[in-house]
Amino acid sequence: MWTRHLPWMFALVWLIAKLVMHSLWEVDQVRTAGVLINILFVLLIVFVGIQTHYGKQKGLTTSFFDDFKACMKPAMLFVICAVVAMGVYYAFLSDDIARLQQTKIDTFNAAIEVESSRAEILGANKELAVKSNDELRQQFRADIERNVSLKTLLLGGTLALTFISFAYSLLAVFFWRTFVRKL
């Protein structure tokens, strides 16, 4: 059945959309649009999953957990597919991570040269007051390279999509059992 391949198709559509948007928009706009597309695809997959589940039941009574499981299975498959697509995109097809890292580093380097900005940065972090500008730059670069990386992006994407899948599945089952099934 075509719904079994829907998560893979959505991940491929996401990948193509990101490539097209990458050539048209700035990095931040592309990231935001990519996140919103993934959220939309999770919602669609959850509702297709529950519709398919109830279509197979043909009037049989099912438990809330069975309905929830029917929503979560395709949603979690999409999470896996989306993370694979994100890994391919950010590791091989895009320089978004490197550009984002460089933008943050350049912004910090410019801010550290202005005395009022440096005082503000050091005021928020008292332990940095004894460090020179070069030491601050090196520490900030190391922090950015660790925090803005492929690994953290994939981990954050996995956690966010899993949480969204869980929440949407609960809401979909509740909505379906409360309103749609009674129609």
Q: How many domains in the chain? A: 1
pLDDT at 171 over 90: yes
Virtual torsion, Cα 32, 33, 34, 38, nearest 10 deg: 110
Query: Domain of 158?
Result: 2-180
The proportion of the chain whose per-residue pLDDT surpasses 90, expressed as a percent, equals 46
pLDDT in tens, 46-63: 999 888 887 887 767 788
**pLDDT value of residue 3:** 72
> Model's pTM, two decimal places?
0.84
Closest by CA position to 43, among listed 85, 4, 3, 71 = 71
Q: Which two tokens stand for residue 113?
A: 């040269």
- φ and ψ of 114, to 5 deg: -85, 125
Q: Which residues of 39-51 are buried (b: 16+ CB within 10 A; e: fewer)?
A: eebbbbbbbbbbb
Q: What is the arithmetic mean of pLDDT over 81-89?
A: 95
pLDDT in tens, 63-83: 899 989 989 999 999 999 999
More confident residue, 120 or 170: 170
